[in-house]
Structure 1
Amino acid sequence: MAEVTDSKELSLRKGDYRPAEPDDLRAPCPVLNSLANHGIIARNGRNITAAELKAALRYLGMGFDVTAILVNGAFKVHSDDPKKGARLGLRDEDQVNEDGVPVLNLDQVGRPHAVEHDVSVTRQDRALGDCMRMNPDLLEQFLAAPKTERGFSASAFGKYRKIRYDKQKRDNPALEFDKINNFSGCAELGAVQCIFGRGFPYRVP
């Protein structure tokens, strides 16, 4: 079924690829960006409901439990003081669509003191540069990291995260990376392995 959000996109169907345009919003998360680029969620990255985001993550193969935890947390109200708000909350207070349903924009995923963190695999630390867009040098370093003939294993992912942490600890005096951030970073790569991995044990090609 064709999308009707924009006359320029009448020929596009869900699953068709279109890169982000200048006015589209995107997240620091490449998976969310890919979902938007393929029309699984709003291509402009705006006004995404919790139901739409849950359906999109299920489309990737995520379990109901993980999907519920991630989305329900993200749709809580954000606070720049993590002691006064939900740690994962990303929405503004009273941020709803025309039907009164809570919504989220993709760029809000990059808000500070929430789910986004330093020591990303493909993004620069917030204090050192652009933490939203993919850094080509970091991507090349990641793809060139040691791995088995069948691809990245859990061990290879873990070793590379340690390399990234050691480097950022040297290079970023303002590094913010506590135990929760470390858990988030490891969980991200764990999700990559579970979704895109092949064989047993899973390897990411």
Structure 2
Amino acid sequence: MMRLTPFLVAAGVALANPDPPCKGLWKAPGPNDFRGPCPMLNTLANHQFLPHDGRNLTETAIIDAVTSALNFNASLGTILFENALIANPEPNATFFTLDQLNVHNLLEHDSSLSRSDAYWGNGHIFNQTAFDQSRAYWTNDLITADQLANAKVARQIHSKSFNPTYTFTHTMEEFSLGELTALIVGFGDKEAATTNRTFVEYFFQNERLPEELGWHKMSSVVNLEDILRLNEIIRNATSLFTTATPIIGRRDFHSGLLR
């Protein structure tokens, strides 16, 4: 489709939003702005690190946003972009829009920390009830990996219990772990694997970086090794075993039947 913007500018026609973005400045989304199920991408658009309308999110735009706003390594921006690009159904697409991420069971998934399951009507906008279920497990000022894992497991159990269409695949598990890790590298201490509860709650409820509460981006660059290490910490924390799982032999099996 022909892009008319340069022509309109040359002709002196007033544009709906002629002001250039002011990166970092928070601005609430308007009725014609796209938003999706990912609170971090929404937040980056609200702060104008990404196009505020949520459209035409290219690889360059994603890399620039995550490096500028969060001090992520550029390679993480590329990975994020490549994972999200599948949401654009156009062949050989080079961009995606935030609303394309709203397709259920593509990237948006059941048992989100802050969204209701799609079965109940909408899986991509913030839901206070779902979020309250999650944050009930964050019992300290610093949220630990265990507490993040507890909230994740609890939300899965709730969805599995009450949502007859509950779906959760291995791919969704990896997305879910990444979402929890993002809370640590975005608002906490990546070495200690903890995050600031006040910052996290403010972020989810406002889709805004908690700068007015004293937050600032990570001082050291966040790289893929950080993400993989933290993913594994949270993955291990989701286990309900308290010790290493033993190899059960015949004797153990029979004794178990007698208990």
TM-score bracket relative to the smaller structure? 0.7 to 0.9
Larger % of helix: which? Answer: 2
Partner Cα separation in structure 1 for residue 190 and residue 60 of structure 2: 31
Is 1:190 matched up with 2:181? yes
Which runs of structure 2 are paired with 1:1-205 in the superposition (5 Å)?
8=17, 10=19, 13-59=22-68, 60-75=70-85, 89-94=86-91, 102-148=94-140, 150-198=141-189, 200-205=191-196
Q: Given that residues 95 and 104 in structure 1 are in contact (C-alpha distance below 8 angstroms), is that contact kept between their aligned partners in structure 2?
A: no
% identical aligned pairs: 27
Cα deviation, residue 136, structure 1: 1.4
Partner Cα separation in structure 2 for residue 121 and residue 139 of structure 1: 6
Query: CA 1:9–1:138 in 2, change beyond 3 Å: closer, same or farther?
Result: farther
Partner Cα separation in structure 1 for residue 44 and residue 190 of structure 2: 25
Task: Name the larger-Rg structure.
Answer: 2
Q: AA paired with 1:48?
A: L
Which 5+ residue runs of structure 2 have no aligned equivalent?
1-8, 197-259
Q: Given that residues 118 and 125 in structure 1 are in contact (C-alpha distance below 8 angstroms), is that contact kept between their aligned partners in structure 2?
A: yes
Partner Cα separation in structure 2 for residue 200 and residue 53 of structure 1: 25
Q: Given that residues 147 and 153 in structure 1 are in contact (C-alpha distance below 8 angstroms), is that contact kept between their aligned partners in structure 2?
A: no
Cα RMSD, aligned residues only: 2.4
Cα deviation, residue 33, structure 1: 0.7
CA-to-partner distance for each residue in 1:155-178, whole Å, 9 max, x for gaps?
Answer: 110111111111111110100112
Structure 1 SS opposite 2:118: coil
Equivalent residue for 2:243? none
Q: Given that residues 145 and 160 in structure 1 are in contact (C-alpha distance below 8 angstroms), is that contact kept between their aligned partners in structure 2?
A: yes
Partner Cα separation in structure 2 for residue 29 and residue 63 of structure 1: 19
Query: CA 1:6–1:185 in 2, change beyond 3 Å: closer, same or farther?
Result: farther
Q: Given that residues 95 and 103 in structure 1 are in contact (C-alpha distance below 8 angstroms), is that contact kept between their aligned partners in structure 2?
A: no
How many equivalent residue pairs?
183
